[in-house]
């Protein structure tokens, strides 16, 4: 009896799997589970079994009946779904394009810049946005009483930590961890406590670059910057270098790019000057190398802080920086 029940179950499952329409499935259900079905007949015959066999075989028979009821139920749903699809689907109707997510313009430009630097042998690194005073200022040759701190007022937290004001905080961290020679970039979000306007916001994105090796000079810095800008903008751009003071480089420069929003005629982005300050740069100060445990007599290098948000504005002709962090879908869907 036990073997007969199992063989019958396997046979029913096989026939249900082969059922091609609801009519055939209904016939199978009647044949096996109906009032006069084969399984029903077997269940009725359990009363004639001995007292020892009845409990075990009775349980097995009822379990098989429940399993087969589930099998038939699933098959009915599948066949009903197929029938509905074949009857209700109109192949002549146009397709409906479901909305899909897409990258923020800042992310797109960041990826392009990372690819450009990767081709020049730079590695991409990430680091903390919540930083200590030491790595954000002191290790970068900006002691507590240095006036340069006034230009980078930021958001302070309990315990003396702060939201980093630049991605330069990773210079000493990365050098101390990886040593020299070193070639890397550090993209990320930074914050400064300042009034907002068309070209300034309290939250924006930078990309720090650092190259340390033997016999690195300003010529290497200029060549790297030109290669980067021509890749990002897909065209030759006008740039200029101005002397600039930054405590962590010596000598230091301001690299400006001719405004691509107005073509140099003057607008709110370039403050009517025709030029946009794009990145501070220069040769890494010996004090910074020493703070990272690198011998400044043996190694030299350059660093630059790229205004990632500014490049996004130039590339897409965006005339107000506040749009980038607004979360306005009408603006973001353009990209």
Q: Token match 């670059």: residue? A: 209
**Across the chain, which distance is largest between two alpha carbons, in Å?**
106
Half-sphere exposure of 274 (CA within 13 A, CB side): 7
The CA distances from residue 299 to 109, 138, 183, 210, 295, in Å, are 32, 21, 13, 13, 6
Are the C-beta atoms of residues 95 and 328 closer than 8 Å to each other? no
| DSSP single-letter state for residue 152 | G
H-type helices in 45-120, by residue range?
53-88, 105-119
pTM: 0.62
Grouped pLDDT means (10 residues each) for the chain, 335 residues = 76 81 82 76 71 74 81 79 55 76 89 91 93 91 81 82 91 91 94 85 91 92 84 80 88 87 85 86 92 93 88 88 88 85
The pLDDT value recorded for residue 186 is 94
Which pLDDT belongs to residue 85?
47
What pLDDT score does 178 carry?
92
3-state helix, strand, coil in the chain (%, to 5): 45, 20, 35
Domain ranges of the chain: 2-88, 105-332
Backbone conformation region of residue 179, classed left if phi is above 0, alpha if psi is from -120 to 50, else beta: left
Which pLDDT value is given to residue 81?
65
Give the pLDDT confidence score for residue 89 in this predicted structure.
60
Residue 86 Cα to chain centre, angstroms: 40
State whether residue 29 is helix, strand or coil.
helix
Q: Which residues of 143-159 are buried (b: 16+ CB within 10 A; e: fewer)?
A: eeeeeebeebebeeeee
State the DSSP H helix or E strand holding residue 33, giving kind and residue range, or none if neither. helix 22-33
Q: Would you state the pLDDT for residue 225?
A: 85
- Name the CATH superfamily, with its identifier, for domain 105-332: Bira Bifunctional Protein; Domain 2 (3.30.930.10)
**C-alpha span between 159 and 135 (Å, rounded):** 15
């Amino acid at each position: 009896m036990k073997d007969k029940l199992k063989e019958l179950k396997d046979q029913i499952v096989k026939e249900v799997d082969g059922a091609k329409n609801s009519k055939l499935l209904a016939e199978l259900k009647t044949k096996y589970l109906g009032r006069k079905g084969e399984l029903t007949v077997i269940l009725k015959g359990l009363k004639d079994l001995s007292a020892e066999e009845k409990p075990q075989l009775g349980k097995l028979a009822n379990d098989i009946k429940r399993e087969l009821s589930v099998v038939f139920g699933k098959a009915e749903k599948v066949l009903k779904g197929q029938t509905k699809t074949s009857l209700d689907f109109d192949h002549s109707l146009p397709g409906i394009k479901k909305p899909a997510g897409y990258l923020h313009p800042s992310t797109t430009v960041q990826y392009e810049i990372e690819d450009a630097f990767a081709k020049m042998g730079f590695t991409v690194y990430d680091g903390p946005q919540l930083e200590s005073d030491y790595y954000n200022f002191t290790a970068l040759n900006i002691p507590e009483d240095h006036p340069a701190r006034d230009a980078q007022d930021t958001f302070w937290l309990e315990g003396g930590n702060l939201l980093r004001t630049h991605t330069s905080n990773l210079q000493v961290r990365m050098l101390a961890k990886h040593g020299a020679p070193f070639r890397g970039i550090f993209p990320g979000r930074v914050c400064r406590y300042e009034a907002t306007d068309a070209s300034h916001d309290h939250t924006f994105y930078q990309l720090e670059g650092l190259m340390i090796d033997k016999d690195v000079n300003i010529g290497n810095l200029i060549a790297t910057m030109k290669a980067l800008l021509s890749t990002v903008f897909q065209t030759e751009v006008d740039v200029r270098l101005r002397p600039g003071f930054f405590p962590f480089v010596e000598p230091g420069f301001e690299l400006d790019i001719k405004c691509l929003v107005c073509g140099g005629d003057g607008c709110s982005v370039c403050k009517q000057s025709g030029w946009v300050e794009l990145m501070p740069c220069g040769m890494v100060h010996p004090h910074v190398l020493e703070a990272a445990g690198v011998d400044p007599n043996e190694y030299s290098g350059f660093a630059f802080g790229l205004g990632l948000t500014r490049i996004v504005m130039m590339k897409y002709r965006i005339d107000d920086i506040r749009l980038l962090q607004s979360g306005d879908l009408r603006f973001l869907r353009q990209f």
